[in-house]
Structure 1
Amino acid sequence: MRNVRLFWQIFPTSVGITLFSMALAAWLATTTGRGFFIDHLKEEIHERAVLIASTISRLSQGGNEEFQEFVRQTGRRAATRITVIDGDGTVLADSNEDHALMDNHGRRPEVILALAGDTGYSLRHSRTLGESMLYAAIPLQLGTDGHRGALRLALAVTPIETMLSGLQNRMLGIALAISLLAGLLSVYSARRISRPLERMKQGAEQLTRGRLDQLVKIDSAHMSVEMAGLANSINQMAEQINRRVRIIIQQRNELEAVFSSMADAVVAIDADSRIIRMNQAAATLFALPSESVKGKAIQGVIRNPYILEMVELTLKHNTQQEQKVTLFKGAEPIMLETHAVPLRDEENRSMGVLLVMNDLTKLNRLENIRQDFVANVSHELKTPITAIKGYVETLLDGALDDEDNARRFLNIVVRQANRLDAIVDDLLTLSRIEDRQGREEIQLTVGEVGPVLESALQTCAVNADEKDIIIEVECDEELYAPINQPLLEQAVINLLNNAIAYSPHGTLITLRCQGSRTVQGERQIQLSVIDNGPGIAREHLPRLFERFYRCDRARSRDMGGTGLGLAIVKHIAHAHKGTVEVESTPGKGSTFTITLPGLAPLVPEPEDEL
């Protein structure tokens, strides 16, 4: 059934009931009024007939001319048509017409009743007078022989019908006016009812569209009790829905934030093995856009057979699956600890799979670094300890009596102890830098870089002079950066000492500091140590800044290095929000460069004039 507006449900009914009521009232009024008037005329005309019946009976015995004149005069004075009819239906006299020319009236209904001894009435249209007439006929004694006749009187009812017709027209006009008023009242009532309903509809539509910021508050001040109750219920429902939807949105945003920020790769899959969601970590892992894969089959996105088998088993058995899976990004293996967890609806039925992949590659790499670090520390510490222990035992076994050997052994013990002390100092330095960097306690102060280089150069001058090495400084003027002067000086000293240790006698080392700009136009400072040593093979460069990593262990140990100097340089550079890089060509030397974020030169404030 087609829906219609409320106005068209109220208006036709109201107008129809009004018109029907007025039509019924008009019909009752006209029919009742007509019957009342007709009955009244019947009584009146009967009384008139009775009054003149005796006179007409008496005159009918005399001369005909007197009888005819009486009938005419009486009819005119009474405004009533009088007709005297013989028993055979012959008209004996008539107040309006010539009785000799009139038809036989024996077949008239009222005459038939009157000749039969009763009073007869009839209401019909008179062809002679051309209007509706009410006829009343009573029995009448005629002549001396007393034979039966009929006295008929007739009154025109046209004025009554005209009056009733006018009454009907007036009632019709009143009915139309009342119908119009009913229509206006219907419009008013329909609008008064429909406007709150329209407001309720708008509020419901805004709820369905999620427009929680523009909810319609329905005013129930001028409504009926029922409508006000409905409006208040809708207002309360809207407030509850608004509150619950906001809670749901907040929870969804929280879950979305957690889902997006998870370091683990997460993929949600439906019961048809199609991807529902994929977080950024998973998109990065599989090198896919997270949005475009929605709705696609998992087989076309993730092609690892082990992961696909886990998803299939989880969907089939509705149980959790765990497995370590190895992926390859190019030639680099990626170790994943993979969990496939079934997704269930409110009735605990399977509706999909949540695939969680934890990347263990970095953890394994860190574990390997830790193991290497422990092994290297143990080895580096064990070497001088073993040497010290061996020479001390030799001295205790009797070499102490040989003064020359005893002195030589003790010098070796002192040298190994110094090496052990240097390793411990470097480990403590590295630990302090990492600890302070983790707590962001390294204070950086804007200062000029040139004085730092001069201090480092003075510290390393003795070692350079022992090998006749010249250190040439090339530094731009007024280079400023946020620095921690002791730490930056330590980094430069470590680089210079490495360069001195590996450079041949009488060669040149260049300490260069120059300003530059990035592609984005930001200032930076590049601090480089350039030597002419043997250089470093390409395969050693990626791991050169790891703890205890040595290109040539025997040679490095002979030179007294701890294997921690470049690791300390890397952490100091990171503490300054910078980087350290190395470029080297075997047989042509190496260049170590620390890059720091720079600042514009400070402009001194003008002194106050005296």
Structure 2
Amino acid sequence: MGCQQIKLLDLIEKDVLEEIVRDFTEATRVASVLVDLDGQPITREHNFSRLCKDYCRSTPEGRARCYASDRFGGEEGRKIGKPFIYKCLNAGLMDSATPIIVEGYHVATLVMGQVLTRPLSIQEALDAAKRIGVEDVAGYLRALHEVPVMSYQRLQSVVKLMCTIAKTISSLAIQKYLSQRAYQQNLHNIINSVSDSIISTDPDGIVTVINKATVAMFGREASTVVGRPIFDLFACPDAFREYLSCKKQQQPYEIPPVFEVMKPDGQIFYTHASCQELFLSTRETMGYVTVLRDVTREKKIEKMKEDLIGMLTHDMGNPILSIQRVLELMLDRHLGTLNNRGEDLVSLALNSTHKLSGMVSNFLDIFLDECAGLNLCQVPGDMDSTLMESIRQVGFSAGDKKIRIHFEPGRGGMQMAADWARLQRTCVNLLENAIRFSPVGGSIALTCEPCRDERDRSAILVTIDDQGKGIDREKQELIFQKFYTTTVQGGNERRGVGLGLTFSKLVVEAHGGRIWVESPYLDGAGKQVTGCRFRFLVPIACDTR
């Protein structure tokens, strides 16, 4: 670290330095000041004589000579490694300069003096005043007579004290410097241990610092990255420039911040960017830190997932429909007469294909919603008819477990526009779920009734009550997440909620409604029932997404 990089005020607070210099001045009655390497004051100018304040530093040439004198004293003191006593380069007064050294670097100078060990001749004083362009020569001479005179031995005693003060300042600075250096080294080690790329830039996007992971990720030497625009690292510089611009203006970036990068050898990879603005204490922007994570593998997996979903939803759809059609022809006896056992088996197979078709459709709709949003195909219809058809579709599953489904159509027969195919799949999902977790020989209550929603809109409320073992309250929101499985009260597994409930929530919310579960719930008589009550509410004049 070069001396130009170490600033005394970064190591010791200015108020502390002011107090040290002030106390030294009060104890010695001499003038003193702490200056930087150019001779510019760091602290206030304590106990300066009227000659120096009102005359020597009253003209541009005078100030320049004073600063040059303090700079000269500091440089000479650094060379000899101790306080340097000398005549100032302006008025010829006696000064002494002691360098402040931090880890071998000269960072500041403690200057004291403005005294005389012998009187100056009139001619020396006139020459000095003339050199700096003083017009009030008489006043200059009167101020010169006010300058304190002390013996050289006394001056040396004061200089010795000044040396002790300078060492104290150096010691304080060294402690803070070593602490800062240790912190910076630890930070450097942490940053370089991170596998993600970390790039620091100035406000204009010029790279100032990078970590080792950046060199490895981009396949470029640090010297070819630092000092150049960060935008040049990306295959489409304008895309990242737009992203950084949004960050500067605190605007949302509409698309995921994933950017394509081309290495020098032509290899393409993808990175996810996260950018954070850095501020000075004044809240002025000092730059940005960008963290880049290589998401090439995730992109490949995403592509494989899309291909798999395409295969599942399209390539499997036609074979399932073909199997359904053949099974329906067999049940309708177009291919011959089946005995009772055969009809049962074909009905079971047909019911399984309906379930498989529903699973594939759920999978496709969830995928489409994640990619581009679910588009509803709304046509006139009524909920009663949809529920009746849903009961018919799950009839085989209910009959297999000797479960009765109680439903009285009538209150949900009003006409409304909705995506009835998807709402029917929603009802089938909820009924299949209720059948799966109801005891053998149990019953399921299904109701449909008009109501008002939270926004006081006319709506249809569908309720499905089962008598299973229920779901813990803390898990009732989680069951609508993809692939979530839970356990029921008592420890038995309640599986199968996978995509069906996720799809149901997606469809209901796309219609502007909501879906929820109550477990346990209160029946019509106010009695608490162990089980699940699934309910969904759909506005009649629905607000679709």
TM-score, shorter chain, exceeding 0.5: no
TM-score (norm 2): 0.34
Relative to its length, the structure with more helix (as a share) is: 1
Larger radius of gyration: 1
TM-score (norm 1): 0.31
